[in-house]
Chain A
Amino acid sequence: MTTRRAHPARCRAVGLPAALAALLVVCVLSLAIGALPLAPSAVWHGLADPASGAYAVVHQTRLPRTLLGLLAGTALGLAGAVMQALTRNPLADPGLLGVNAGASAAVVTATALLGISSLSGYIWFALGGAALVSVLIYAIGGGASSTPARLALAGTAVNAALYSYVAALELLDTGALDKMRFWTVGSIAAAEPGTVLRITPFILLGTVLALGCAKPLNTLALGDEAATALGAKPALTRGVAIAAIVLLCGSATAACGPIVFVGLMVPQVAARITGPDLRWLLPYSAILAPVLLLGADIVGRVVARPSELEVGIITAVIGGPVFLLTVVGRERA
């Protein structure tokens, strides 16, 4: 007897509005929950009515924080999905493979050694660091013929080296980096309106490139031989995909520090709904990742009252077990 799944095309089409609704809900919750809780109606007034008492808190902190969570979540979810497709490795994640650490290390270097302390200055370093590590990991990991284990090892080694470097710089230079505690653990708490504006163009460009790769990456998944015979250009597609990953991870890390596991978990959950077709998997990842990121951020705001836990800690706490389950599940399969 065969178990026939429901037609995937139907699930995918129904799931998309549901995912968007979930995103809307977490956005409203993210605007409402915090040190000063707001009712949904107060959120609405705070957004639209300058005379409202909530206007300042909504516009100065909650809205930028929510928008940053939205952008960074989308960036990490897309980057993770593209990475997993590119490496044919379901355990690939911009956090685990060191791309975010590369961006982080470059920013800390720029801040500590060159005294650059504005986002508009160090975002270029973040992109450069992400690019360097992407190329490095891709080369050490064996490129298109990499095995999951080899890639994971390369990523772990690069991650460990870069985080020790970041920690060393922080110890040596407490002054400049003091306010940037989030360079070792990602956070969206300190978002300002300027942060969001600054990274939007990069994330938008990265998103367009990533979504544009969906179809050729679908053919690359069949192996380079089949893909080339189908008229795809593997080298070009890989180049564009890596550029998308660098833009997305570099700018997200520049704004919130390194956040792990979002890029790992979300595409895996999304793939259960969509199957491996990237034309569906990428949009789903782009919508569900901010649901996870904002959800984790909201949890971080309420579990340790009156203080807060950084979103990077929460995603790591959820992500660790999911990662292990994935590994175990693969071993069984």
Chain B
Amino acid sequence: MSAPANRLATRNLTLGYDHRQVVRDLEVEIPDRSFTVIIGANGCGKSTLLRALARVLRPTSGTVLLDGKEIGAHPSRHVARTVGLLPQSPITPDGITVAELVGRGRFPHQGALRRETPQDRAVVERCLAETALTDLGQRPVSSLSGGQRQRAWIATALAQDTELLLLDEPTTYLDLMHQIEVLDLCARLHAAGRTVVAVLHDLNQAARYASHLIVLREGEVIAEGAPDAVITAELVGRAFGLRARIIPDPETGRPLVIPLPSQVTAK
């Protein structure tokens, strides 16, 4: 087993639920300081992989390595201070306010009995500001729109203040403007030196923002690397069963995926 070059990597990773395998023999590395985007069809194992990378799901076999050591062998608080996760469908407690929710992201930085420190409060304020929620801090989360709620959860993951941040579909429920805002926020975090891993469904956003792409199909990596090299019409066909034309984005030069109508293939 070769030593990984990056902080977060997997070796022969097999994942599943109750004996049903979802991911087989996966070898991926999350390049340090990258903005890695994972794409793939519904049910192909993206969330499952993210769970394992955040030490939430124990591997059936194989390992997830954090800093060269099996992730489960690190103290759980150390992992929680290093790798943050925004789950795909977290639970919002009844009656919780936005600021309180974001404050719960500080858990790994607090002692068992200690109350919030001024530093905790400063981080919460900063995360609220970064997600444009400062004015909504005292509102119950249940009274927010779906997009505002999603931003509150992103702020909670940010408050964990980790060098590696795993975001499972952070742009779901958001209108286009807020999708771009969240992706710009990820890009800023990336530019500031953090490693960001996000699951996205919009291929064009993935191509535009990612520094590194991982394409999954039925639990296997079918392509990885820079978006320019990875996104081809052939790959889109293999990953999603979709006919597409790829043209350079006139704005950025990155690949732009134009889906083609499917009935044309019928002949």
Contact = CB atoms under 8 A, between A and B. Distances in A.
Interface of A: 2, 4-5, 7-8, 88, 90, 212, 215, 218-219, 221-226, 228-233, 271, 275-277
Please classify how large the interface on chain B is, using the bins under 10, 10 to 19, 20 to 34, 35 or more.
Answer: 35 or more
B255 interface: no
Given A229-B84, A276-B93, A276-B94, 16 more contacts: A2-B143, A4-B138, A90-B94, A221-B91, A221-B93, A225-B90, A226-B156, A228-B54, A228-B55, A230-B104, A230-B107, A230-B108, A231-B77, A232-B76, A233-B76, A275-B100
Interface of B: 51, 54-56, 76-77, 79-81, 83-85, 87, 89-97, 100-101, 104-105, 107-108, 110, 112, 138-139, 143, 156, 160
A215 B108 CA distance: 11
A229 B107 CA distance: 10
A99 B203 CA distance: 53
Contact of B80 (A212, A229, A277): A229
A231 B96 contact: no
A80 to B, nearest CB: 15
Q: List 6 A-B pairs, minimum CB-CB distance, nearest first.
A: A231-B80, A229-B85, A223-B91, A225-B87, A231-B108, A221-B93
B112 A88 contact: no
Contact of B160 (A2, A90, A228, A230): A230
B138 A222 contact: no
A275 B90 contact: no
A224 B84 CA distance: 14
Contacts of A232: 76, 107
A299 to B, nearest CB: 30
A277 B100 contact: yes
B90 A226 contact: yes
Contacts of A277: 96, 100
A5 B143 CA distance: 12
The listed residue with most B CB atoms (<10 A of its CB), out of A219, A224, A230, A276, is A230
Contacts of B104: 218-219, 222, 230
Contacts of B107: 215, 218-219, 230-232
